[in-house]
Structure 1
Amino acid sequence: MPFAVIRTAVCAALLATPALALAQASILPQQRDAAGNVMEPLGQVLLPDEDGQERLQRCTADHAWCVALQPSASAGESSTTLVVTERAQGMGQPQSWHATMDVPEDGELALWPWIVRLAPGVGADQPVADPQQRARQNVLVGGISTVRSMYSGGGARASTLQLARVRHLDDGIQIDNDVLGVAWEGQADIRACFSEQDMRQRAGACHDEYGFSAKLSLDAAAQGMPVLRYQTVATRFPAGVSRFEDSLAKGPLKKKDLRTEQDPACTYVRTFRFSGGAYQPDQALPDCAGYTEP
């Protein structure tokens, strides 16, 4: 098969991979912390939406909480809104609210297929006098926005996880749209050989591959608002390459370079604690734009 055809097929497969499937594989199993906060998967369920029409939603096992994408007003447009529905026991009719996600132009939004259900009394950030509101559960829900780019030598995609908080107050529901925003997944397949000399200098590895993935989990010892543990892995092939350097300007690749390696600068762990209305990391995040921007 001609080299150009192979490259086109690889690029198409790369950009077609659903971000949601990658996100599902990159989150740790259901967890509970010392405060009683629970990170629970959302299963697919066919239930009536806020307009009374049956629609596929992602719900908790007890159907108390469901999350769905708000249908776009125009065909072909990507949604930027999550519809969060609560079916609390004794509440009567389900109630729905909207959380707005930051989706770049030409980006796509998918559901984060998990929910963090906060323990009783956690997450309001202020005293709640109404006993009914005080007894209701507050939650964290999320969306994954993905953008894609095409290059002459391949293509790239990158996604961001954004969490929103739903909290019950005396005067009703408060939606905090952006309490956490972190890089979630990235993949790039770039560069190409345009001559026999290029192929020799690249030892036949005519493209660079960059990968980035993240995990989010609960700190088991946390009290009060959940403490989130954010863990990333960044990889590159061939070893030592960079999206910000001209690989052909460097010396010829050797066989020992033809391997996938982790980039220690962008493979890290951070702890996020809730402060001032949003999650803050315990130390600054490194600049990993080579992995987290398309």
Structure 2
Amino acid sequence: MARLRRSRYSDGMMLPLLLLALAAASPSPRDAAGNQLEPLKPAAEQAARLCTGDQRWCAGIDDDSATLSVFTGPTGAAVASVELEQDEDETLAVWPQMARLAAPGAGVLIGVERRRSASYSGGGGGTTVLELIQVWPDRSRPPRSVLTLPLKGEIMIRACFSKQDFADRKGACQDIYTFDATLTLAPETASGPPKFQFATLAKAFPPKASRGTPTPSLKRLKKSELVPTPDLACSYRRVLAFDPKSQTYRPDSPLPDCDDYTTP
């Protein structure tokens, strides 16, 4: 799971519930233990840095060196600089949220969005994977990667290769796969590291679409199939808890294989 190269200082729930979880405009920003999930916004003094509302924590990524730096403020010194592994087709961005940990000296969880895209004849798409990295404010330990999850996907595959295909599919000449996920705090956590709620919603258009199925088998679509349809196998909800043995977050049950939606 870990994607850090080094530190410079050394099965599914019911669909209505998933829809509610993804649509929640204001999830609880704090759990009972005092861990807090808060937004990061561009700093007026340093637009390249994203900061908490109180300006206590800021983060930014140097694109040239693929280095994540965490700062004590919009113009403050770095408390950690982490060189990130980066694939050739990846772009990196700071996740615009941060988990501030309640335990004394525990620091924060900073997120890195790993975005990938691909294009091919008649189609293409992009996906985003989230990596959470724990950073300590006193440099007492090197930053560590604690969680990696799929966050977003949109894939389009060419589906018409003739006039007959166009007619049979009623002009719907692309298979489309979308995936959206939310990561929020589990508010009932009363002590220790935060737990997270992870909810996903995957949709396929048409509903029969599968990247492992030859497109010609999806001919003669009905009007009722000309709408994106939730894929219940890849629309799920999990609770993620910190595992002291592995020093990473683990889901309460395994995540399904949803490569159709999360691999460009």
TM interval, short-chain normalised? 0.7 to 0.9
Deviation at 1:197, TM superposition (A): 1.1
Matched, 1:221 2:195: no
Q: Which runs of 4+ in 1 moved over 4 A?
A: 25-30
Deviates more, 1:98-107 or 1:276-285: 98-107
Q: Distance in 2 between matches of 1:188 and 1:85?
A: 36
Q: Distance in 2 between matches of 1:100 and 1:40?
A: 24
Partner of 2:41: 43
Count how many residue pairs are aligned between Structure 1 and Structure 2: 238
1:105-142 per-position Cα deviation (integer Å, ceiling 9, x unaligned) = 2210111011101114273xxxxxxxxxxxxxx10001
Deviation at 1:56, TM superposition (A): 3.0
Matched, 1:285 2:243: no
Deviation at 1:55, TM superposition (A): 5.0
Deviation at 1:28, TM superposition (A): 5.4
Within 5 Å, give how 1:88-107 maps onto structure 2. 94-107=77-90
Deviation at 1:250, TM superposition (A): 4.0
Unaligned 5+ segments in structure 1 are 1-24, 48-53, 74-79, 88-92, 124-137
Within 5 Å, give how 1:179-190 maps onto structure 2. 179-190=146-157
Q: Distance in 2 between matches of 1:286 and 1:71?
A: 32
CA contact (8 A) 1:101 1:177 kept: no
Partner of 1:253: 221
| 1:243 alignment partner, SS class | coil
Matched, 1:60 2:65: no
Q: Distance in 1 between matches of 2:83 and 2:231?
A: 33
Within 5 Å, give how 1:175-214 maps onto structure 2. 175-214=142-181
Residues 194/62 of structure 1: CA separation in 2 closer, same or farther (3 Å cut): same
1:55-100 per-position Cα deviation (integer Å, ceiling 9, x unaligned) = 5311111111000112415xxxxxx32110125xxxxx63431134
Within 5 Å, give how 1:21-170 maps onto structure 2. 29=27, 31-47=29-45, 54-73=46-65, 80-87=66-73, 94-121=77-104, 123=106, 138-168=107-137
1:198-218 per-position Cα deviation (integer Å, ceiling 9, x unaligned) = 112222211111100110000
Deviation at 1:190, TM superposition (A): 1.1
Q: Distance in 2 between matches of 1:116 and 1:142?
A: 9
Deviation at 1:246, TM superposition (A): 1.0
TM-score with structure 2 length normalisation? 0.83
CA contact (8 A) 2:79 2:137 kept: no
Partner of 2:10: none
Higher RCO, Cα 8 Å, sep 6+: 2
1:126-184 per-position Cα deviation (integer Å, ceiling 9, x unaligned) = xxxxxxxxxxxx10001101111112121111110000001256xx3323331000001
Unaligned 5+ segments in structure 2 are 1-22
TM-score with structure 1 length normalisation? 0.75
Task: Give the alignment partner of residue 200 of structure 2, picking from 232, 241, 255.
Answer: 232
Residues 258/233 of structure 1: CA separation in 2 closer, same or farther (3 Å cut): same
CA contact (8 A) 2:209 2:218 kept: no
Percent of matched pairs sharing the same residue: 37
CA contact (8 A) 2:99 2:110 kept: yes
User: Relative to total residues, which structure has the larger helix share, 1 or 2?
Assistant: 1
Q: Distance in 2 between matches of 1:101 and 1:220?
A: 31
CA contact (8 A) 1:166 1:173 kept: no
1:227-246 per-position Cα deviation (integer Å, ceiling 9, x unaligned) = 01111110111122111101
1:241-278 per-position Cα deviation (integer Å, ceiling 9, x unaligned) = 11110121345212121111100000000111001211
